[in-house]
Amino acid sequence: MIFFTEQDIDRLIEDDAPLGDLTSFSMGITGKQGAISLRARHEMVACCTEEAARVYARAGLSVLNCTPSGVKVAEGALLLEAQGDAMAIHTAWKAGSVLVEFASGIATRTRFLFDAARSVNPQTTLAGTRKHPPYLKKVAMKALMAGGGVPHRTGLSDTILIFREHLIFVGGMGNINQIILNLKQCQKEKKIVAEAHTTEEAVALAKAGADAIQVDKMSPRDFANCVRTCKSLSPEIKMLAAGGINPGNAREYAQGGADVLVSSWMYFAPPADITVEIRASE
Amino acid sequence: MIFFTEQDIDRLIEDDAPLGDLTSFSMGITGKQGAISLRARHEMVACCTEEAARVYARAGLSVLNCTPSGVKVAEGALLLEAQGDAMAIHTAWKAGSVLVEFASGIATRTRFLFDAARSVNPQTTLAGTRKHPPYLKKVAMKALMAGGGVPHRTGLSDTILIFREHLIFVGGMGNINQIILNLKQCQKEKKIVAEAHTTEEAVALAKAGADAIQVDKMSPRDFANCVRTCKSLSPEIKMLAAGGINPGNAREYAQGGADVLVSSWMYFAPPADITVEIRASE
Amino acid sequence: MIFFTEQDIDRLIEDDAPLGDLTSFSMGITGKQGAISLRARHEMVACCTEEAARVYARAGLSVLNCTPSGVKVAEGALLLEAQGDAMAIHTAWKAGSVLVEFASGIATRTRFLFDAARSVNPQTTLAGTRKHPPYLKKVAMKALMAGGGVPHRTGLSDTILIFREHLIFVGGMGNINQIILNLKQCQKEKKIVAEAHTTEEAVALAKAGADAIQVDKMSPRDFANCVRTCKSLSPEIKMLAAGGINPGNAREYAQGGADVLVSSWMYFAPPADITVEIRASE
Amino acid sequence: MIFFTEQDIDRLIEDDAPLGDLTSFSMGITGKQGAISLRARHEMVACCTEEAARVYARAGLSVLNCTPSGVKVAEGALLLEAQGDAMAIHTAWKAGSVLVEFASGIATRTRFLFDAARSVNPQTTLAGTRKHPPYLKKVAMKALMAGGGVPHRTGLSDTILIFREHLIFVGGMGNINQIILNLKQCQKEKKIVAEAHTTEEAVALAKAGADAIQVDKMSPRDFANCVRTCKSLSPEIKMLAAGGINPGNAREYAQGGADVLVSSWMYFAPPADITVEIRASE
Amino acid sequence: MIFFTEQDIDRLIEDDAPLGDLTSFSMGITGKQGAISLRARHEMVACCTEEAARVYARAGLSVLNCTPSGVKVAEGALLLEAQGDAMAIHTAWKAGSVLVEFASGIATRTRFLFDAARSVNPQTTLAGTRKHPPYLKKVAMKALMAGGGVPHRTGLSDTILIFREHLIFVGGMGNINQIILNLKQCQKEKKIVAEAHTTEEAVALAKAGADAIQVDKMSPRDFANCVRTCKSLSPEIKMLAAGGINPGNAREYAQGGADVLVSSWMYFAPPADITVEIRASE
Amino acid sequence: MIFFTEQDIDRLIEDDAPLGDLTSFSMGITGKQGAISLRARHEMVACCTEEAARVYARAGLSVLNCTPSGVKVAEGALLLEAQGDAMAIHTAWKAGSVLVEFASGIATRTRFLFDAARSVNPQTTLAGTRKHPPYLKKVAMKALMAGGGVPHRTGLSDTILIFREHLIFVGGMGNINQIILNLKQCQKEKKIVAEAHTTEEAVALAKAGADAIQVDKMSPRDFANCVRTCKSLSPEIKMLAAGGINPGNAREYAQGGADVLVSSWMYFAPPADITVEIRASE
């Protein structure tokens, strides 16, 4: 349950129609009643329909139907339906539909990537990075989770993830044993995750006691070897494949023993295709 | 000159690192000095480098170099460089780099589409719609303009654009002459733009006095015919091609006489690929 | 339909009563019930009654009656009525009534100026500038439109309006043909509006192809001549009278052929006079 | 020293130019340098020049001169001067100048009313009410104080001011002795101010121990009598004249013994008239 | 009636659960119904229960019971009860309960201090300073008032309070007669309150005409003497005891004639102890 | 490095002095220069001095000295020093000093509790809960970390922490093996932390594979036994003592084998005592 504030909802309308729909106003569309419905143009995982419903309600419309986020719907399925004043429909229309299209696009891609990985390894999970479009953490995370993924990390403040760029300030990989020892002493409620670019680095990290290793941009074949080596050193260690994960290689990494696929590929999905129908009420 | 407020800049850091980089803190990376540089991994149109520079400055870093938005750079080119406290570098790193990657991805795609159209028709312009990712109007518009495009409309409140969905509340296409007459009487400083889905509709609109017709989802061939017909009726009319415009068909629409290509394709570009290098200062 | 966010509504109460009505609190006015009604003290065009109703509702009152914005009411007419807790009435009273008084003052003045112009020229429209009091775009625009006006431009980002101050950076009036040619090539969905201070400038702009000319601070007589000259050169051109437009000269400009009167006079209206009655419920 | 936040400053630009000056952008005014200067077109009390200077600085300009708020300047005097990028000048121009015009209009009117009252009674002060345009407390209060006034009350939470509308919930004027006794017991650091509409009410309030009486909409002659009566009963009591105070009657109220004139007349001043000159730098 | 905006309410949830309760999400607690109730673990003055109710309602729960702020409840008393979706309960739980605990802690301490003072002097009032935790004015003031206190001042902009630190810029204590004379002339609707650190200073202030003297950090015995001396000079003067007021000395200051105890002790109360029970609905 | 936005800084001034220091204004303290210095009245751990320095700078002062957060200073030590306009000093004074007092109070208490635990067990860490005063996450976390603590969790969205209240919706403690198995499958980058109220529960959790057990409100003696039992079952498990942790019992829990003390005791510290000296410059 990702929480969108009133301000989050209001901004969608305000960004698109700060002074209303000038066309409707100039045409004198007022006092007319109508209805708006959003339908899926293709199979998709619905997302942010609840927020679009709030957008329509905030503009004064009555929401009649709303398919919950996370539901996979067939072509033609009704996603959202509302009715009320025609000028309100025009004012809020795209503020709502563009959000659903964007979020459902991400959710659908997430589900696709997730299913690909799971088809070969029922243990693999799919984690979405923090490299989503700027300002869009809530939408991206809601869509990720609606599609079957989990947040990799929500930002810098909630997990321990050692980059090579950290090490250069504290003695480098040569000092990794002490570094991880210190981190474990300081952060007892967190797993120590560290990034490796080579099997050699991964082995060093595994020996130093890392709880999980995020292997960056290694070929699926090398990754599989790296997993085997590290798990033989540390059976409980979690092995994460990151860097360029996409549907073309997800199965291979999953088969190679990836506990987690770490990806931002889904965030840049094209919007889902949605048909909007607006009708006048008699 | 799109204006990013202090709050726009601050939110980028706050979203990613509300309580700082827990890893740097836990490692005791403090009092160390370093530098960060962002370089293009491929030819690209730089964008939002100024805002990333402000992100780094707000975190306390000194900005040394910054390639302006809109500049096309070669692989390897330096985009941004800053130096200062190592913990500040880690805190602000991705808040800055993810923005540049995202915006440069859009700018680069825009330039690509723009160049495609212009290669066959030096009069065609490229307009970006308001169907960008939600909450991202400023970033999307800055990238669009950096790439050679112009805003189609910034929202509902600044232009007259008649959709079929407006007409259903005021008498439909059969009433179009009166509707456009009224609009011209009411909004004398605006062009009257109207959407058509068929040549028949376009002709009706042209006869009714529309200043521009946005033809939605017509094949390039039909569009070219539609343009010829409409321009013969109304030589000054502007013909806009919209709906599914992309590099695969942009040339055809441009050759068919499109005054404007109206597209949202560029907004969903994959992020530009940027190398970040962080170094310790001795 | 200008959209006021929840924050817009909340701020009205918070600005006036950040910690409530200290007098009511200190008197122990609590648990009492009452009603508040707002009535017009003179004929006026009501405005922002919907927002005042939201203010009262946010404070916990029940709204019983609300005359819509844009309605011209007679002296004594009920504008808004609400009931509930006496302390809530005192807390929200002026946050609501001051808004209605301010906005109705502008709407009433707009209607007055509009009617003056229309009485002599049924084609003339009235456009309100962006020179409203700072921070008040929504209120000013809502009142303008409630009074029969239209926005001239909502800001710098939505229209093309060439000032003399632009020209000094691109070659001056001597270069106007090329400048307008370029603008038309770049902004095909916008009219090219330009400001002129003399008939000579207006003629140059008309010849260069401007779609509309905003004539600044010319006498009504000179303006009428200027209109004739320009329309003879370019029959479709729109002629705007701007600079010091007020009820004393509006008819003259309208008679002189003004397509549009561009004014900010209405924004500085004295507030409409409203009687507030508060009653205790038995 | 009224404090304008960074957000207060940023919003002025963002409201007027959310996506920059489309005209400058479309004309390609870029890389040019210029200067902007604001001069008084008539004698005036300058106000909010500091905030306009911050607006220009935020847009990237260098501020060269700034006349402080509260200074009375002659026709032609320089109020503000800045220089820098031509596109930045166009983007920030009116965001700054409209603020100065609006605030200086109020400050100038305040000074005028203040001087009128002081010319006949050197003890009279001028207090500005909270009935300023909505959302504009800071600007209105800064201008009021720049013009020689003081805030009457900043809102409901900082003073005790008994209205008739309070009394109806706690026993009415017949219970005033007990009410004021209670208030004095509860709020020992505040003066007890109460509103009267007749001399009879004023006398009752004076006898009950009110520290100050705000006499609403009484004729200057009746007010003078009321002052004499009340001061004979309670020599230390402060007598405030409120309701329709303006330059036409301010002297009379002041001569009649008003300790304070309470007014909102100044807030609805027309903007001060300012000449803006923009020059290109060679 | 202190007004909490929608944003105030939303931030409580957003601060605690920006992306929801990860544990509930990961466990798949969804579609389950439950109820949450908050009960007092000890006698306390309830506070901010209304705001916690709004928190629960914003998360989608139905509020069943809510004890109003300011009510003194016994151990075991129900403070708040809501029901609905189990994931919503987990998301909003502590955002609501932590607020009630914090505010009730302050309200309870305020009542305790207030009762102590009143037990020996029924005229003494208790004023809470502006030295509450930063950012918490609304919560602190609501709790203060719920506990029987009044705001001393809400900030710097609403009262006249002369500190020694003011005097050093305008001639010091030697100039106090003129300073107070000037202040009385300028601010006729305000009492002139001044801080004294010694009886000598207090006497000087009383002679100069101060309306109230805030005596800082004087022993109760010296304070009693100071009160007698000042009241003999100026019978109407109000004497405030400030600096280190707490339950250990409040009775002494009250007995010594304090009209007002000025304290910030209550703001740093430990949170009230509240039992939260969450139940599944069948 | 916890990031305070410009808005965070601005709000401190705006909350305390929305319209400036009325006393300074009314006294005419203007054009005078002065200096302000903050000194520790007792040994303390400084905190939020950087933010107070920004407050003073935003008001226009020049900051001369600033002791960094986290430094333990002796009685009399200079914490912060700034100079400039006397009215700016008065406007910003307490907005800065109250923040430092509040944050340093928490930091000092944190250090005290931390030192107590470490004196008997050099492995024990101190984690601060999310039960800090509402709205104060940044200040509380900065102070916690300045005092030697670490965040327990920053909210609900960053860690897995199983409460009894979760279990009632998914089968209860009897189902704990399956629940933890599922959680480990879903959240591979997180430790699974669970709350226990009895040794029996702790044992069940340890057997089920929890990575850490937060034992709530158990006596130090029972806790020590519980630690031994659980560590014998799962040597790597982390044992957290929570509920009523304070300096009176911290040593016992630490000696009893607590890996982490989880506390909110420090957040309700009385403010640190700081002397503020304001001087006029000659």
Single out the residue of F112, F53, F108 nearest to residue F79, CA to CA.
Answer: F53
Please answer yes or no on whether D189 and E154 come within 8 Å at the CB atom. Answer: no
Interface residue of B188, B238, B262 to substitute, partner C, most C CBs within 10 Å:
B188
- D contact residues 91-120, partner B, Cβ 8 Å cutoff: 91
Note the CATH architecture for domain C119-266.
Answer: Alpha-Beta Barrel (3.20)
The overall average pLDDT reported for chain A is 97
Return the CATH superfamily for domain A113-266.
Answer: Aldolase class I (3.20.20.70)
Q: DSSP 3-state assignment of A36?
A: strand
C49, C100 contact by CB (below 8 A): yes
**A168 with B102: Cβ contact below 8 A:** no
> D114-266: what fold?
TIM Barrel (3.20.20)
- Which of A154, A189, A212 lies at the smallest CB-CB distance from F238? A189
Instruction: Give me the residue from D3, D150, D154 closest to F14, CB to CB.
Output: D3
Query: How confident is the model over E7-41, as pLDDT tens digits?
Result: 999 999 999 999 999 999 999 998 899 999 999 99
Rounded to 10 degrees, the C-alpha dihedral A232/A234/A240/A243 comes to: -70
**Res. E213: pLDDT tops 70:** yes
User: B260, C190: Cβ pair inside 8 Å?
Assistant: no
Neighbours of F (≥3 Cβ pairs closer than 8 A)? A, B, D, E
Question: How far apart are the CA of D130 and the nearest CA of chain C, in angstroms?
Answer: 8
| Distance, CA of C45 to CA of C5 (rounded, Å) | 23
CATH 3.20.190.10 matches E6-112+269-280: no
Six token digits for residue D250: 């301010």
Contact D189 E185 (CB under 8 A): no
pLDDT in tens, F222-252: 999 999 999 999 999 999 999 999 999 999 9
Chains that touch D (3 or more CB pairs under 8 A): B, C, E, F
Q: How is chain B split into domains, by residue range?
A: 6-112+269-280, 120-266
Q: Which residues 48-67 of chain A have a CB within 8 Å of chain B?
A: none
What are the tokens at A272? Answer: 């889902």
At D34-56, the pLDDT tens digits run 999 999 999 999 999 999 999 99
Mean pLDDT, to the nearest integer, of B116-136?
A: 97
Distance CA A172, CA A163 (A): 10
E-state strands within A13-111: 33-40, 44-45, 62-66, 72-73, 78-85
- In this predicted structure, the answer to whether residue C282 has a pLDDT above a threshold of 80 is no
pLDDT of residue F208: 98
pLDDT for F31? 87
Alpha-carbon gap: B167 to the closest alpha carbon of chain C (Å): 18
State whether residue F33 is helix, strand or coil.
strand
Q: What is d(CA A89, CA B163) in angstroms, rounded to the nearest whole number?
A: 13
Give φ, ψ of C58 to 5 degrees.
Answer: -65, -30
Average pLDDT over residues F29-49: 96
Those residues with Cβ within 8 angstroms of residue A75's Cβ, 6 or more apart along the chain or in another chain: A40, A41, A42, A43
- Residue in chain E nearest D122 by alpha carbon: E185
- Report the C-alpha gap between B93 and D56 in whole angstroms: 29
Average pLDDT value for residue range C257-278: 98
Please give the share of chain E, as a percent, with pLDDT higher than 70: 100
**Å between E92 CA and nearest CA of chain D:** 30
Residue for token pair 């006691």: A209
ipTM of predicted complex: 0.96
Residue F159 structure tokens: 């860690």
Residues in chain A within 8 Å Cβ distance of E24: 1
| DSSP 8-class letter at F80 | E
Mutation target vs D (from F14, F19, F23, F89; most D CBs, 10 A cutoff): F19
Say how far apart CA B73 and CA C125 lie, in whole Å: 49
Q: What is the DSSP letter of A69?
A: T
Dist CA F265 CA F108 (whole Å): 12
- pLDDT in the model for residue E3: 95
Strands (E), chain E: 33-40, 44-45, 62-66, 72-73, 78-85, 125-128, 150-151, 160-162, 192-196, 212-216, 238-242, 260-263, 274-280
For chain A, positions 247-276, list CB contacts with chain B under 8 A. 268-271, 276
Residue among B122, B126, B124 nearest B107 (CA):
B126
Q: Tens of pLDDT along E58-76?
A: 999 999 999 999 999 999 9
Average pLDDT in chain E = 97
Q: State both tokens at F53.
A: 């320095």
The predicted-structure confidence for B22-79, as pLDDT tens digits, reads as follows 999 999 998 899 999 999 999 999 999 999 999 999 999 999 999 999 999 999 999 9
Q: Which of C186, C188, C260 sits opposite B189 (nearest CB)?
A: C260
Q: Which residues of F touch B7 (CB under 8 A)?
A: 5-7
In this predicted structure, the answer to whether residue D147 has a pLDDT above a threshold of 90 is yes
Q: Which of D7, D8, D19 has the most B C-beta neighbours within 10 Å, making it the best mutation to test the interface with B?
A: D19
CA-CA distance, A53 to A34, in Å (whole number)?
Answer: 16
Cβ-nearest to F20 among D2, D5, D7: D2
Q: Given this chain, do its domains A6-111+269-280 and A113-266 carry the same CATH topology? A: no
CATH architecture classification, B120-266: Alpha-Beta Barrel (3.20)
Nearest CA in chain D to E189: D191
CB contact under 8 A, B7 and D6: yes
Q: Please tell me the predicted confidence (pLDDT) of residue C30.
A: 83
* E139 contacts F182? CB cut-off 8 A: no
Half-sphere exposure of A19 (CA within 13 A, CB side): 29
Nearest to C169 by CA among D84, B268, D177, F148: D84
The answer to whether residues F206 and E63 touch, using CB atoms and an 8 Å cutoff, is: no
Answer yes or no: are the C-beta atoms of A20 and C3 closer than 8 Å: yes
Nearest chain E residue to D262 by CA: give it: E189
- Residue whose pair of structure tokens reads 């601070």 in the numeric block: C217
Residue A114 near residue A126 (C-beta atoms within 8 A): yes
Q: How are beta strands C260-263 and C125-128 bridged, if at all?
A: parallel
CATH match for A6-111+269-280 among 3.30.750.200, 1.20.1050.10, 3.30.70.2860, 3.90.1170.20 = 3.90.1170.20
Q: What is the DSSP string of C2-14?
A: ----HHHHHHHHH
Give residue E30's pLDDT: 83
Mind listing the pLDDT tens digit for each residue in C123-149? 999 999 999 999 999 999 999 999 999
Shortest CA gap A268–chain C (Å): 28
Q: Assign residue B209 a region: left if phi > 0, alpha if psi is -120 to 50, beta otherwise?
A: left
Q: Give percent of chain D with pLDDT exceeding 90.
A: 99
Annotate C158-224 with three-state secondary structure. Answer: CCEEECHHHHCCCCCHHHHHHHHHHHHHHCCCCCEEEEECCHHHHHHHHHHCCCEEEEECCCHHHHH
Using an 8 Å CB-CB cutoff, list chain E residues near C96.
Answer: none
In 3D, which of C159, F189, F169 has the Cα closest to residue A214? F189
Residue D1's pLDDT is 82
Q: Is D155 on the interface with C (CB under 8 A)?
A: yes
Pick the CATH number of E115-267 from 2.30.30.100, 3.20.20.70, 2.40.50.140, 3.30.390.30: 3.20.20.70
- Using CA atoms, how far apart are residues E70 and E48, in angstroms rounded to an integer? 9
**Residue F192: its H or E element:** strand F192-196
Give the confidence band of F30 by pLDDT, cuts at 50, 70, 90. confident
C146 alpha-carbon distance from chain centroid: 8
DSSP state string for B210-274? -SEEEEES--HHHHHHHHHHHHHH-TT-EEEEESS--TTTHHHHHHTT-SEEEE-GGGGPPPPPE
D27 and C161 within 8 Å at the Cβ level: the answer is no
What mean pLDDT is predicted for residues A73-97?
Answer: 98
CB contact under 8 A, D168 and C34: yes
D82 in Cβ contact with D64 (< 8 Å) = yes
Q: Residue B205 corresponds to which tokens in the numbers above?
A: 């609109």
> C35: which strand partners?
C83, C279
User: What is the mean pLDDT of the segment spanning D104-119?
Assistant: 98
Nearest to A36 by CA among A224, A274, A244: A274
Name the H helices within chain D.
Answer: 6-16, 22-27, 49-58, 86-120, 137-146, 164-167, 176-186, 199-208, 220-233, 250-255
Query: Of E5, E151, E154, which is closest to C10 when you measure between CB atoms?
Result: E5
Second CATH level (architecture) for the domain F119-267: Alpha-Beta Barrel (3.20)
Residues 7-26 of chain D with CB under 8 A from chain F are 7
Q: What is the mean pLDDT of residues F139-152?
A: 98
pLDDT at C33 over 80: yes
Q: Which residue of E has its CA nearest to F164?
A: E278
- pLDDT at position B282, please? 67
Question: Quick check: E1 pLDDT over 90?
Answer: no
> Both tokens of residue E126?
């208790």
When CB atoms are compared, the residue of F150, F154, F211 closest to A158 is F154
State which H helix or E strand residue E177 sits in: helix E176-186
Interface of C with B in 171-200 (CB under 8 A): 185-191, 193
pLDDT tens-digit series, residues F58-92 = 999 999 999 999 999 999 999 999 999 999 999 99
3 state DSSP class of D163 = coil
